[in-house]
Amino acid sequence: MINTKTASQGIKLILCWIAFHTFLLSQAAVVVADGSPRIITIVNFIRQTDYRLKDADSLLFDATERELALMKKYQLSGTFLLQYDALINPKYQTLLKGESPTEIEVGAWWEITQPHVEAAGIKWRGKHPWVSTANIAFTTGYTQQERERLVDVYMEKFKAVFGRYPKSVGSWFIDSHTLGYMYKKYQIVASSNCKDQVGTDGYTLWGGYWNQAYYPSVYNAYMPAQSTENQIPVPVFRMLGSDPIYQYDLGVGTGGQGVITLEPVYEDGGMDKKWTRSFFNAIVDQPSLAFNYAQAGQENSFTWDAMKKGLEMQFPMIDSLRKVGKVRVQTLEEAGRWFSEQFPQTPATAVVALDDYREQGNKSIWYNSRFYRANLYWEKNAFRVRDIHLFDEHFKSLYLDKPGTEGQFYYFTLPLVDGFFWSTKTERAGLRIMHKKANGEGEELILQAPSVTEPDHKTLEVRSRDQYGNLFVILLKEKELSLRCEPKQKDLKWFFELKVPTEKQTILPFKNIAQQEIAAVFKDHAFRVRCKKGTLLTGKDASFVFQVHPQKQQLALDLGIGN
């Protein structure tokens, strides 16, 4: 006999399931229709050995073998990048040579090893066959002629093994001379570098195009180019998938950073299901302008035991998102070709994170264009512009013409607001919206519950009311950040104010602040920011650095210095 109550419940469950998946498919249609795809590349890079591990060679091969098997289980395409020592290992050759290049791309991982250096006729300076020391493991530590020899040796060996040259070359960082040489001589179509970080493993990359991908300057591979004449036409994708809310401040006031990323080995990041869902929500379901991007996968040095839990949780998620059309899973080469076909210059993109997996109410919005990046940050009962870094293709890298000699490397852009380096453990630097109360005292206006839209393919609009009901509208455009107010309070006297802890003000780049212009110098490179609407006021004491006062409830900063 049929239980009518049970049958009714079953029908309801089926209808709910159909409705849910119809919703997912409708959302997928929106992504395709608005021309803003969400792209995931699975990139696993391969070292042959690691002196830090016992039985390293077998453990690293085992990890790679299992990563490949897991990708095949879910029929996920992806990219394996071979370091030279792994490239010359017959075991890795056998493992990867039989794979379809449309499903499993094989490319180059650009860390320099002893067999690679010696094959190029250069003396090895490391204590082990592979080291992470910046001036040994990366081409920043070699002359331009040595860099070219290292490229030629690798490319010829790769072609001898796989019958072609690699199209994708990734690394924590590749200098502009090497990247340009790879493009001109070997026609690579995609590259990747590390997320922004301070001091991690000795590598500092700070102030760059925060996520997605950009065309680098011929003078500085970390700096987005503003013109086609001075750009290397190879898109550089940012790796690892940084937490858009919490990664930035991690370690603030200490001179170094921890790691919260999509990498599956991190318990507070890519190993945690709640964090991963929140991260994918920011990447997949929120406004992103031109497109959004995340790199999944893991380097084999972490070994399978460390990455297993995270990868086995992430890959089914990625598979499900792909099946309902919400993401494209592509090889790095495919993503690079798509980018070049779509964008003659670096596009404007955004990462919008309104879902705080820690349930503390924090929110973060990142905006990038080829001229600047900016970060809006809501932290519990506070709001500030946490970061603005400006891009100028003429800002040359320290390592453009000569090798670095230190065990670390440093890449920066031009800071207008730097909430990491200009903050202390107890006091955070940033641009805040202030107003003068009736008694003349200043008070911070706290923006709440932001809504985010895309008026056009280069502009992000953020609307948010303060604690008194005044509506503020922030427009992030390709060359400009503007702010306007629709006041609810009568005689509201508001302004934008940069506050920096007193002990950090000696490192600020500002040389002169006039009514309409800020003149600054960073690392011997001069730059200027113009106030297009409103008036600048400099602080006469240490209470603030500068203020921007509106004109008819509006202000605008011209951030397109690299014209």
Are the C-beta atoms of residues 529 and 558 closer than 8 Å to each other?
A: yes
pLDDT for 542: 72
Read off the pLDDT band of 256 (50, 70, 90): confident
Q: What is the mean pLDDT of residues 288-310?
A: 95
pLDDT in tens, 330-363: 999 999 999 999 999 999 999 999 999 999 999 9
pLDDT for 14: 42
Q: Is residue 498 part of a domain?
A: yes
pLDDT at 469 exceeding the cut of 70: yes
**Number of domains composing the chain:** 2
Together in a domain, 190 and 295 = yes
Whole-number Å distance between alpha carbons of 294 and 277? 13
Together in a domain, 460 and 322 = no
Together in a domain, 127 and 261 = yes
pLDDT at 480 exceeding the cut of 80: yes
Of the listed ranges 149-158, 221-230, 245-254, the one predicted with least confidence: 245-254
Q: Is residue 11 part of a domain?
A: no
Query: What rounded mean pLDDT belongs to the chain?
Result: 91
pLDDT for 562: 58
Domain ends where: 322, 348, 374? 348
Q: Kind and range of the H or E element at 177?
A: helix 176-186
pLDDT for 35: 77
pLDDT for 10: 45
Whole-number Å distance between alpha carbons of 36 and 352? 14
- The conformational region for residue 325 under phi > 0 = left, psi -120 to 50 = alpha, else beta, is left
Strand partners, 524: none
Give residue 535's identity as a one-letter amino acid code.
T
Domain span holding position 527: 422-558
Whole-number Å distance between alpha carbons of 143 and 133? 16
Specify the higher pLDDT residue, 251 or 557.
557
Domain ends where: 331, 348, 365? 348
pLDDT at 6 exceeding the cut of 50: no
Together in a domain, 428 and 329 = no
Q: Is residue 461 part of a domain?
A: yes
Quote the percentage of the chain above a pLDDT of 70: 94
Read off the pLDDT band of 255 (50, 70, 90): confident
Q: What is the mean pLDDT of residues 111-124?
A: 96
pLDDT for 563: 57
pLDDT for 20: 39
Together in a domain, 440 and 325 = no
Q: Is residue 415 part of a domain?
A: no
Strands (E), 49-182: 78-82, 104-109, 168-170
Together in a domain, 309 and 453 = no
Q: Is residue 86 part of a domain?
A: yes
Together in a domain, 125 and 236 = yes
Read off the pLDDT band of 1 (50, 70, 90): very low
Of the listed ranges 46-50, 173-177, 439-443, 444-448, the one predicted with least confidence: 439-443
Q: Is residue 218 part of a domain?
A: yes
Whole-number Å distance between alpha carbons of 351 and 377? 12
Whole-number Å distance between alpha carbons of 253 and 35? 41
State the pTM of this model: 0.90
Together in a domain, 331 and 454 = no
Q: What is the mean pLDDT of residues 99-113?
A: 91
Q: What is the mean pLDDT of residues 185-206?
A: 93
Q: How many other CB atoms are found less than 10 A from the CB of residue 39?
A: 21
pLDDT for 166: 97
Together in a domain, 343 and 438 = no
pLDDT for 15: 43
Together in a domain, 432 and 339 = no
Q: Is residue 384 part of a domain?
A: no
pLDDT in tens, 11-21: 444 444 444 34
Read off the pLDDT band of 209 (50, 70, 90): very high
Quote the percentage of the chain above a pLDDT of 90: 85
Together in a domain, 428 and 332 = no
Tokens of 267: 């318990």
pLDDT for 243: 96
Q: Could you tell me the CATH number of the domain that includes residue 76? A: 3.20.20.510
pLDDT at 117 exceeding the cut of 80: yes
Read off the pLDDT band of 31 (50, 70, 90): very low
Whole-number Å distance between alpha carbons of 45 and 108? 8
Q: What is the mean pLDDT of residues 497-502?
A: 94
Whole-number Å distance between alpha carbons of 225 and 210? 14
pLDDT for 28: 36
pLDDT at 8 exceeding the cut of 90: no
Read off the pLDDT band of 380 (50, 70, 90): confident
Domain ends where: 294, 313, 348? 348
Q: Is 121 exposed, middle or buried (0-12, 13-18, 19+ CB in 10 A)?
A: exposed
pLDDT for 47: 95
Together in a domain, 322 and 444 = no
Q: Is residue 514 part of a domain?
A: yes
pLDDT in tens, 127-162: 999 898 989 999 999 999 999 999 999 999 999 999
3-class SS of residue 277: helix
Distances in whole angstroms, Cα of residue 177 to Cα of each of 26, 101, 183, 366, 397: 45, 28, 10, 29, 10
Identify the CA nearest to 209 among candidates 201, 217, 219, 199.
217
